[in-house]
Amino acid sequence: MSRIQLLIVDDEERFLKTTATLLEKRGIASQTASSGEKALQMIEQIPVDVVILDIKMPGMDGIETLKRIKSSHPLIEVILLTGHGSFDLAVTGMQLGAFDYLMKPSEISQLMEKVEQAYAKKQAMEQRKLENLASAPDASGAAPCIS
Amino acid sequence: MTAETRKKRESSKYSRIRRIILSRILVAPFIILLLVCGTLVYYFSATLHTRVNSEMIRIVDDHRNMIDQFLVERTEDLTFIANTTRYEVICRQQRLEEIFAMLQKSSPAFQDLGVFDHSGNHISYQGPYDLEGKNYQDAPWFKAVKEKSVYISDVFLGYRETPHFVIAVQKHENGVFWYLRATIDTLFFNNLVENIRLGKTGEAYLVNKSGIFQTKQRSGGRLMAVDPDFADAGGTDGRIITYSAKNHEGNKYRYAVGRLHQTYWQLVVRQDAGDAAAPLIHAVLVALGLIFLGGAVVVVIAFFLSSNVAHRLSLADAEKREMTNQLIMAGKLAEVGEMSSGIAHEINNPLQVMKAEVTMIGDLFSDLPPRSEQDRENFDLIKDSVNQIGIQIDRCRKITQGLLKFARKSDPVIRKISPADLLKDTLGMISHQAMLDEVSIKTRIAADLPEIESDPSQLQQVFLNLINNAVYAVRETRQPEVRIMADMAEDKVRIQVSDNGCGIPDTELEKIFLPFFTTKPVGSGTGLGLSTCFGIVENLGGKIEVNSTVGKGSTFTVFLPRAKARAKAQAGAGAAG
């Protein structure tokens, strides 16, 4: 469990701080980023399994960030956080490959639950990928980019 | 949402329009009708006048000639006898008798025949009266015939004391004059003139130059009486004059008068002006009848036409107004929706922070062991306080979520559903609470209610909301009652929820569909129920209406199409993007 590499992205600094603290207390270490741009930088620098991503942010918004994460790191699972009424955006996010979405304000326990589910899914995906690679080594060149 | 005063103003506006149309439609045909009838009557009256005149002139001319002819013939009869018979012969009674018989053969108008010597002694007589031997030296006719040798007298009484007139001729024989005189049968002569008829009142009579009746006047003038309406026709040139005049009784008459050639008598033909104008009056009456009849037809047509037009106008206007109302309401709601989704979003962010903070405080406190009894009490108080913050955050969340729900353009999930079943299900959810509140819920659902294509869960939300509101509205009514009625109205399913509760004042009626408008005490309602209902019903292609009277209750009516019309969809929901 403690191995989960979590990145929380939100423009609300205080939320980042408190949530990180709370999660840490519950055994999940997390990094924080206060914008989409920063988040993209960070996933290039540190290993990340799950991203909690606020949809509405100044600058690059959650949907755009999601697209970029998914294109560069398809295996990273993204949980969308929305304070917005529009399910459409959430649905769009899901179509773009987000794992799930959560309505603000949400309980820390809900958040943890989703994070764990996402991580489990990611692990399963990686496992399958490894198996695929093992069974078809020739295909390694065509495999999606994992750096 | 229409106030009573507006309705009144509307109806007066349409009755005004109707009056304008009505008057315009009526005026033109009436003017034309009047012109046509007026012209016709005018020309007819002119023609009639000429015709009556010429008819009277013709009668006068014809009969004057006839009478003249008669008098000429009778005079010639006498002249012939005088010329062909010698005095001694005619003086013999026997011979006179023969001659008289011959005369009567010539004309039955001869009543008697007498022979007079130069000094007016009645020498011999053949006739019904005993006149022989009487002297006529001073009789006006004798004097006249001595002068003129042929004379036709006026009607006079004479020795016989009955009205008659005579024709006398003078004969010169062997240096002495003798005279032959015949009386004309008054009755016979009278008939010649009196039988002339014209219309109902038209009559003809003869008067002499002093205005004495020479024949009876059918309308009452006796023989030899003075004609009270006498007017001298003037000259002897045979001209026939016509004129209108009032008689002594004040009645108006048309006259045609012509003088005879043989005597100074004038033939008068006259007709009551009213009688003469009878065809005209008849024509006017017919014209008036036509005007009234035509007018009635026009009025009826115009009335229906104008009513129809005004009705259509009012319908079109009402439709337009309703559309405008709906557009305004939809616009309002869209604006409010956009705003509320923005607010909700902005509030959700700080709520999220607060929630995290509260969890954090809770975490910290559970890690912090109380060091004294005092601490424990304070801790409990602080925990309670933090708890309360958590509860209030949840309350805020509910509000923002309600707002978002109202603003959300969620696509309805359309299925075939039975509105009746849906209503029954909804009632099932609410009946327990209603029973506790002692509210009697009466339902009347038409048996032939068809299935419709709609979103059951959204509709259920609408019904639940309306019924809940109704139950709430009757909480202070003595015999609380909520009535639910479902039937078909034209091609739509109509569901009505009525209560006998407090009612909604006009000023509030316009706002009830706006979000956050509530009459419930703070905390009991968010004021989003009806706005959500409105949004849902509009989105489903239906329509929601309200009627309310303060103190009597309210009725909410939902119209649902049998299948959702795509074009009308999503008019009411706010934009959330």
Tell me the pairing of strands A77-82 and A100-103: parallel
Higher pLDDT, B161 or A51: A51
Q: Which of B180, B184, B244 is nearest to B214 (CA)?
A: B184
ipTM at complex level: 0.78
Q: What is the mean pLDDT of residues B93-108?
A: 88
Q: What is the pLDDT of residues A79-106, one digit of tens each?
A: 998 876 556 677 788 889 899 988 888 8
Whether residue B302 has pLDDT greater than 70 = yes
Instruction: Give how many domains chain A has, as a whole number.
Output: 1
Whether residue B572 has pLDDT greater than 50 = no
Whether residue A42 has pLDDT greater than 90 = yes
Domain with CATH 3.30.565.10 in chain B: 412-577
Q: Binning pLDDT at 50, 70 and 90, where does residue B564 land? A: low
Residue A3 contacts B where some CB pair is shorter than 8 Å: no
Q: B 111-130 residues with CB below 8 A of A?
A: none
Interface contact B349-A12, CB threshold 8 A: yes
Domain with CATH 3.30.450.20 in chain B: 189-278
Interface contact A85-B393, CB threshold 8 A: no
Best A86, A91, A107 residue to mutate vs chain B (most B CBs within 10 Å): A86
pLDDT given at position B191: 83
Interface contact B352-A12, CB threshold 8 A: yes
Q: Compute the distance between CA of residue B417 and CA of residue B455 in angstroms, rounded to an integer.
A: 8
| Assigned token pair, A22 | 């709370």
Whether residue B173 has pLDDT greater than 80 = yes
Q: Binning pLDDT at 50, 70 and 90, where does residue A35 land? A: very high
Residue A15 contacts B where some CB pair is shorter than 8 Å: yes
| Option in A22, A83, A85 nearest B356 (CB) | A22
Best B336, B347, B349, B354 residue to mutate vs chain A (most A CBs within 10 Å): B349
CA torsion sign, A94 to A97 to A103 to A107? positive
pLDDT given at position A145: 43
| Assigned token pair, B419 | 């509105």
Q: What is the pLDDT of residues B412-456, one digit of tens each?
A: 778 888 888 888 888 888 887 788 788 888 888 888 888 898 888
Residue B482 CB burial class (10 angstroms; 0-12, 13-18, ≥19) = buried
Interface contact A86-B356, CB threshold 8 A: no
Report the range of poorest mean pLDDT among B35-44, B160-169, B316-325, B333-342.
Answer: B333-342
Whether residue B29 has pLDDT greater than 70 = yes
Is A144 a domain residue?
A: no
Q: B 340-379 residues with CB below 8 A of A?
A: 341, 344-349, 351-357, 359-360, 363
Interface contact A105-B351, CB threshold 8 A: yes
Distance from CA of A16 to the nearest CA of B (A): 9
Question: Which is the CATH superfamily of the domain at B189-278?
Answer: PAS domain (3.30.450.20)
| Option in A22, A81, A83 nearest B363 (CB) | A22
Look up the CATH number of the domain holding residue A88.
3.40.50.2300
pTM of the predicted model, to two decimals? Answer: 0.46
Q: What is the pLDDT of residues B132-155, one digit of tens each?
A: 888 888 888 898 888 888 999 888
Interface contact B341-A86, CB threshold 8 A: yes
Contact in structure between A73 and A44 (CB atoms under 8 Å): no
pLDDT given at position A82: 84
Q: What is the pLDDT of residues B271-285, one digit of tens each?
A: 888 777 777 788 788
pLDDT given at position B254: 86
The whole domain housing A53 covers 6-136
User: Which residues in chain B are closer than 8 Å to A85, comparing Cβ atoms?
Assistant: 341, 344-345, 403-405, 407-408, 576
Whether residue B219 has pLDDT greater than 90 = no
Distance from CA of B537 to the nearest CA of A (A): 20
| Assigned token pair, B380 | 């409990």
Q: Compute the distance between CA of residue B478 and CA of residue B470 in angstroms, rounded to an integer.
A: 14
Is A143 a domain residue?
A: no
Whether residue B499 has pLDDT greater than 60 = yes
| Assigned token pair, B498 | 């009525």
Give the C-alpha distances (Å, rounded to integers) separating B151 from B71, B132, B237, B556. 11, 21, 20, 114
pLDDT given at position A147: 43
Mean pLDDT of chain B: 83
Whether residue A144 has pLDDT greater than 60 = no
Q: Compute the distance between CA of residue B340 and CA of residue B88 in angstroms, rounded to an integer.
A: 150
Q: Compute the distance between CA of residue B460 and CA of residue A107 in angstroms, rounded to an integer.
A: 30
The helix (H) or strand (E) run that includes residue B66 is helix B4-84
Preceding omega of B29 cis (within 30 degrees of 0): no
| Option in B346, B353, B405 nearest A18 (CB) | B353
Residue B339 contacts A where some CB pair is shorter than 8 Å: no
Hey, how many other C-beta atoms are within 10 angstroms of the C-beta on A30? 20
Q: B 521-560 residues with CB below 8 A of A?
A: none
Q: What is the mean pLDDT of residues B2-23?
A: 73
Whether residue B574 has pLDDT greater than 50 = no
> What CATH number was assigned to the domain covering residues B412-577?
3.30.565.10
Q: Which of B298, B305, B302, B251 is nearest to B277 (CA)?
A: B251
Residue B334 contacts A where some CB pair is shorter than 8 Å: no
Q: B 389-448 residues with CB below 8 A of A?
A: 393, 397, 401, 403-405, 407-410
Interface contact B408-A84, CB threshold 8 A: no
Interface contact B341-A83, CB threshold 8 A: no
Distance from CA of A109 to the nearest CA of B (A): 10
Is A69 a domain residue?
A: yes
Whether residue B571 has pLDDT greater than 50 = no
Whether residue B340 has pLDDT greater than 80 = no
Burial B86-121 (b: 16+ CB within 10 A, else e): ebeebeeeebbeebbeebeeeeebbbbbbbbbeebe
Q: Binning pLDDT at 50, 70 and 90, where does residue A43 land? A: very high
Higher pLDDT, B217 or A135: B217
User: Which residues in chain B are closer than 8 Å to A21, comparing Cβ atoms?
Assistant: 360
| Option in A15, A56, A84 nearest B356 (CB) | A15
Whether residue B12 has pLDDT greater than 90 = no
Q: Binning pLDDT at 50, 70 and 90, where does residue B399 land? A: confident
Q: Compute the distance between CA of residue A97 and CA of residue A68 in angstroms, rounded to an integer.
A: 11
Whether residue B481 has pLDDT greater than 70 = yes
Q: Is residue B221 classed as helix, strand or coil in its secondary structure? A: coil
Residue A140 CB burial class (10 angstroms; 0-12, 13-18, ≥19) = exposed
Q: Which of B564, B546, B556 is nearest to B458 (CA)?
A: B564
Whether residue B70 has pLDDT greater than 70 = yes
| Assigned token pair, B34 | 């009047």
Higher pLDDT, B239 or B499: B499
How many contacts does A have with B, using Cβ atoms within 8 A? 74
Q: Binning pLDDT at 50, 70 and 90, where does residue A117 land? A: very high
What letter represents residue B159's amino acid?
Y
Q: Compute the distance between CA of residue B378 and CA of residue B370 in angstroms, rounded to an integer.
A: 9
Percentage of chain B modeled with pLDDT above 70 = 92
Q: Which residues contact B25 (CB under 8 A, 6 or more apart)?
A: B298, B301, B302, B305, B306
Hey, how many other C-beta atoms are within 10 angstroms of the C-beta on B54? 12
Whether residue B299 has pLDDT greater than 50 = yes
Shortest CA distance from B402: residue in chain A: A85
Q: Binning pLDDT at 50, 70 and 90, where does residue B576 land? A: very low
